[in-house]
Amino acid sequence: MTIIAVANQKGGVGKTTTVVNLGAALQEMGKRVLLVDFDPQASLTIHLGIKEPESLQANAGHVLRAAASGNRWPAMRDVLMQTPAGLDLVPSGRLLGVAESVLHTVLGRELMLRESLAPLVDEYDYIIIDCLPTSSILVINALVAADALLVPVQTDYLATHGLAQILQTAATVRDRLNPRLEVLGILLTMVDLRTTHARQVIAAVQKNFRGKVRVFETLIRLQVGIKESSKEGTTMLRFDPQSPTAVAYRDLAREVIAAVEQLGKGVQAQDQVAEGPVSLAEVAQVAAEQAEELARDARNPAAESGDGVAVLADSLTPGSHPTDAEQVPLLCPLLGLESDRNVRRGYTTEAHRCYAEALPQPLDAATQREYCLDQRHQTCPRFIRHGVMASASQTRQGIFGKVLAIFRGGR
């Protein structure tokens, strides 16, 4: 059983959306999942179809206040419910904010949530806690109860400040209260690859945290359907099962399962190493420096230049940087720069733009062939098959590909 706290000290980065849809994807894969709404605003409760959370007889606030007073009712099991969205939930409400003020007078206040969840841990494979965007005692309780921290980060430099803050809080909690706490990974959310700034944030996060903290490969892109599913009180996996967002959260669920397994192996290995686990304080410092760098770039008009695109290309290529010869597009006639807006502005860049992924990609012949044969890219207007451009009859071109081909000049 694994308890995951989903937190970022900046609001509006997709924490609740991630909890809802990650939980739904894990349940779809046969896992037993419990979601815990630990935010007095009750966004998770409302998202899952409980439109009037204050009408519930009891919620997480009642449980926490009872635990602080030494009472046995209500317990977590008493408030647990199955939502219209089909997920088990510990709901929230305004009383959770009142319980927070009560906790400040209680000895061992940081342990209340962990002790309240203890009777349920054997009944679920995953317990996922939706945290409020502060560094309050409620967030500390969630981190003390958790085995792992998942941090959603919007592709905006302001969200990277929240990343630095939550990592610093997690470092303090691990040092003083919960030595088993690990960072499960950073999840990039609300991704809009049409903007240079979003691509720069992706590049910076992937580059700066490589080898330190996992950055999930799955990107959660902007989609109107996410708000619609919330309005309907359901998950994206039910609202639009084949949507890019639903597919992305299924991919994320697979990554989370693998990460949890690796985390368990890593903890066992660390027990045999004298120096102990990696310093989260150091990682938090990296995040703080990254946030400052992105803030400077955002204030600098040069951030819109081709240099930002070149940085992204570097970050997406593992190992050493490619040579000039490797930068030349060898196979795909659409990997060019003539239509790139930076070129039209007079900027130069070493990266070549892939029309299927809408990202700059420095690729040699071998990696490009493998890249273009990926099933995800077979809707490209010039899908590459065995190293040659596919004919019109072979190309599986979707609506997006057709529009893109027209926009690019019909090449």
Strands 182-191 and 126-131: unpaired
Measured over the CA atoms of residue 246, residue 35, residue 48 and residue 101, the dihedral's sign is negative
Task: Check whether 151 has a pLDDT greater than 60.
Answer: yes
Task: Check whether 324 has a pLDDT greater than 80.
Answer: no
pLDDT of res. 399: 58
Strands 384-385 and 388-389: antiparallel
Mean pLDDT, range 5-33, rounded to an integer: 95
82 vs 90: CA distance, rounded Å: 9
pLDDT tens per residue across span 108-143: 999 999 999 999 999 999 999 999 998 889 999 999
pLDDT tens per residue across span 337-353: 333 444 444 443 444 55
296 vs 294: CA distance, rounded Å: 5
Angle formed at CA 257 by CA 253 and CA 262, multiple of 5 degrees: 145
Identify the weakest region by mean pLDDT among 215-219, 325-329, 390-394: 325-329
Nearest Cα to 60, choosing from 34, 42, 87, 33? 42
What amino acid occupies position 152? P
Mean pLDDT, range 26-40, rounded to an integer: 97
Across 197-280, the runs of DSSP E, i.e. the strands, are 215-221
Task: Check whether 42 has a pLDDT greater than 90.
Answer: yes
Express as a percent the part of the chain with pLDDT over 70: 68
Cβ neighbours of residue 186 closer than 8 Å, sequence gap 6 or more? 151, 153, 163, 205, 209, 213, 214, 215, 216
Q: Which of the pair, 287 or 250, is modelled with greater confidence?
A: 250
Task: Check whether 390 has a pLDDT greater than 80.
Answer: no
Q: Which of the pair, 55 or 403, is modelled with greater confidence?
A: 55
129 vs 36: CA distance, rounded Å: 5
Q: How distant is the alpha carbon of residue 358 from its chain centre? A: 20
pLDDT of res. 381: 55
Q: How many CB atoms lie within 10 A of CB 157?
A: 22
Task: Check whether 284 has a pLDDT greater than 60.
Answer: yes
Q: Is 362 helix (H, G, I), strand (E, B) or coil?
A: coil
pLDDT of res. 210: 84
Query: Which of 150-154, 207-211, 397-401 holds the top average pLDDT?
Result: 150-154
Nearest Cα to 21, choosing from 201, 274, 225, 300? 225
Paired strand residues for 384 = 389
pLDDT of res. 35: 98
Q: How many CB atoms lie within 10 A of CB 278?
A: 15
The per-residue b/e assignment along 311-342, b for 16 or more CB within 10 angstroms, e otherwise, is bbbbbbbeeeebeeebbebebbebbebeebeb
- 11 falls in which pLDDT band (50, 70, 90)? confident
Q: What is the mean pLDDT of the chain?
A: 77
Express as a percent the part of the chain with pLDDT over 90: 46
Q: Where in the chain is the domain with CATH 3.40.50.300?
A: 2-293
394 vs 392: CA distance, rounded Å: 5
113 vs 119: CA distance, rounded Å: 11
294 vs 303: CA distance, rounded Å: 9
pLDDT of res. 188: 95
pLDDT of res. 37: 97
Q: How would you classify residue 25: left for phi > 0, otherwise alpha for psi between -120 and 50, otherwise beta?
A: alpha
115 phi, psi to nearest 5 deg: -70, -35
270 phi, psi to nearest 5 deg: -65, -30
pLDDT tens per residue across span 46-76: 999 999 999 999 999 999 999 988 888 899 9
Query: Which of 287-291, 363-367, 374-378, 387-391 holds the top average pLDDT?
Result: 287-291
pLDDT of res. 351: 47
pLDDT of res. 367: 52
pLDDT of res. 119: 95
CATH fold for domain 2-293: Rossmann fold (3.40.50)
pLDDT of res. 44: 96
pLDDT tens per residue across span 157-198: 777 778 888 999 999 999 999 999 999 999 999 998 888 878
pLDDT of res. 208: 85
Q: Which of the pair, 259 or 409, is modelled with greater confidence?
A: 259
Contact 235, 85 (CB under 8 A): yes
pLDDT of res. 43: 94
